[in-house]
Amino acid sequence: MFRRYRLAVVASLALAAVALAEDTAKAREAFLKGQTLYTASKYKEALAKFEESYAAKPHPATVFNIARCQDQLGDFVKAMTSYKEYLRQSPQASDADDVVKAIAAIEQKLQAKGSQHLLVYVDPATARVSVDGKDIGASPAAAAIPPGSHKVVITAEGFDAYERAFAMSASRSMEMTVSLRPATPPVAKVEPVKAKDPVKTEPTKTGVAKPPATVEPTKPVKVADAKDADMTPPPPPPLSTLITDEPTPAPKRRVFTWVAAGTAGVAAGLGVAFSIAMKNNEAALKMLDPNRTREQATTLYNGAYGMGTAATISFITAGVAAAAAVLLFFLEGA
């Protein structure tokens, strides 16, 4: 049984690794093409490749490059949304200060045009967001809103509607995060119970109503005299269990439990190490150096995505091993 379980776990991990490798290859190819196009100032074509890369394998570095392309194309609403999404996915990024400066620059550009950026995150993501009666899309919903008083309405099937009045600043963007409450089911209507008809009485010849017939009480059951009852207590049951002095069995050793727990710990440690190495390669990769050759970019990209894939597999292995340790703890102790 344990062998079949281990084989199933190994097969699942192998299939997951193959799928991750295929997605990584597609994302890598599109990402490198996007970098080449961006260096050639072909921002629209580069944006399409970066979006293709993100669809194959989401990654914060790709979101950052998407924001750069949208910023260069003058699509400030989408660029602001992408910059903020990058900070949500990678809040500890080494270039977070540069991204904040880019956001401030877009705020100034929008202010010059008489509007400001509004971004709304909603749970569930299928909810629709409207401002002043105009639909601006699903979460994350973004739009350029003129300064002043406005009203946002958020609706989703199966959830209570959300309404809020807000004031849009002329110089600062605004971000909302809303969690809708599940709709309350309607309360069932309870009808009052009708009173029963009163008991009818039959009139007599004298004109006086005849009362309803009464029921005679039942006669009490006669209890036998104490002298007639057999008060002798029953004899005790014979001892049928043989008590023996046997030694207490030794507790079972959970060998496989500790093996699975150790595997989970090692895999989690490797995942952390691979994640650190991936972030180091990301920092170098996001610096779009025009003097960087394609081979150098490929090396950095392969390193970042290779470490990312290894970290993902390590964390998956740690999770599976931890679950197996819990299961084996009960199985071996049975």
Task: Specify the pLDDT at position 224.
Answer: 46
Task: Specify the pLDDT at position 292.
Answer: 65
Task: Specify the pLDDT at position 309.
Answer: 81
* Residues with pLDDT less than 50, the chain: 2, 5-7, 9-10, 221-229, 237, 239-246
Please report, rounded to a whole number, the percentage of residues in the chain having pLDDT higher than 90.
46
Long-range CB contacts for residues 77-85, cutoff 8 Å, separation at least 24? 77/117, 77/142, 77/143, 77/144, 78/142, 79/106, 80/106, 80/107, 80/110, 80/117, 80/119, 80/142, 80/173, 81/117, 81/119, 81/140, 81/142, 84/119, 84/175, 85/140
- Domains parsed from the chain with CATH numbers: 115-180 (2.60.40.1120)
Contacts of 253 (CB under 8 A, 6+ apart): 332
Task: Specify the pLDDT at position 239.
Answer: 44
Give 290-330 as a DSSP string.
TT--HHHHHHHHHHHHHHHHHHHHHHHHHHHHHHHHHHHHH
Task: Specify the pLDDT at position 333.
Answer: 63
Task: Specify the pLDDT at position 314.
Answer: 79
Which one, of 272, 328, 305, lies nearest residue 22 by Cα? 305
Give the integer Cα–Cα distance in Å for 154 and 135.
10
Task: Specify the pLDDT at position 59.
Answer: 93
Tell me the whole-structure pTM to 2 decimals: 0.57
Task: Specify the pLDDT at position 3.
Answer: 52
Task: Specify the pLDDT at position 37.
Answer: 95
Task: Report the SS3 class of residue 192.
Answer: coil
Q: What beta strand segments (E) does the chain contain?
A: 116-123, 128-131, 134-138, 141-145, 148-155, 162-168, 174-179, 202-203, 209-210
